[in-house]
Amino acid sequence: MDLHNLKAPAPNNKNRKRVGRGEGSGHGEQSGRGHNGAKSRSGYKRRAWFEGGQMPLQRRIPKFGFKNPNRVEFRPINLHTIAEFVEAGKLNESITIADLVEAGLAHKNDKVKLLGNGEFDTKVEIEVHAASKSAIEKVEKAGGKANVI
């Protein structure tokens, strides 16, 4: 077998559709575009959101609410989680943001908020970006201190 006697497989031997070349071709008159309407015109491009004249989805669904572009999102950490980590030896009595990141409770650029969920009786000095009143109350009741940066 040589390159000069190779034959293409049967599906590759189809002729392209030649439209607009008279009635005898089978693709004359409307050239496969139907009768009237936007799709039969030259230069027609269907927009991605066009639904055939039906009211488009982005106009059908209700619009409400407000997304505040200046919202500050905090990583919440509960007191019972801090207590568990201190008991396990993953955190010591003096806790900074870097310690929380190292322990896997927060990511590097997270702002941390301390929440007062759960029992807490460990004396710790903790540094966070924000804290709830109940969290500060429980930490101080246990003899510790919560510093809000």
pLDDT in tens, 26-76: 999 999 999 998 889 999 998 888 888 899 999 999 989 999 999 999 999
Q: Model's pTM, two decimal places?
A: 0.58
Is 108 a domain residue?
Answer: yes
Q: State the alpha helices, DSSP H only, in the chain.
A: 57-60, 79-88, 97-103, 133-141
Domain containing 111 equals: 98-149
109-122 mean pLDDT: 90
Is 18 a domain residue?
Answer: no
* Average pLDDT across the chain, whole number: 91
Look at the chain and report how many structural domains it folds into. Answer: 1
pLDDT at 78 exceeding the cut of 90: yes
- Report the pLDDT value the prediction gives residue 38, as an integer from 0 to 100: 86
Is 71 a domain residue?
Answer: no
3-state secondary structure of 145: strand
Is 72 a domain residue?
Answer: no
- Report the pLDDT value the prediction gives residue 54, as an integer from 0 to 100: 92
pLDDT at 11 exceeding the cut of 90: no
Is 82 a domain residue?
Answer: no
Q: For residue 102, what is the domain's CATH number?
A: 3.100.10.10
Distance between CA 13 and CA 147 in Å, rounded? 78
Beta bridge partners of 108: none
- Report the pLDDT value the prediction gives residue 14, as an integer from 0 to 100: 82
- Report the pLDDT value the prediction gives residue 56, as an integer from 0 to 100: 92
Is 140 a domain residue?
Answer: yes
Is 128 a domain residue?
Answer: yes
Is 119 a domain residue?
Answer: yes
Confidence of residue 79 (pLDDT cuts 50, 70, 90): very high
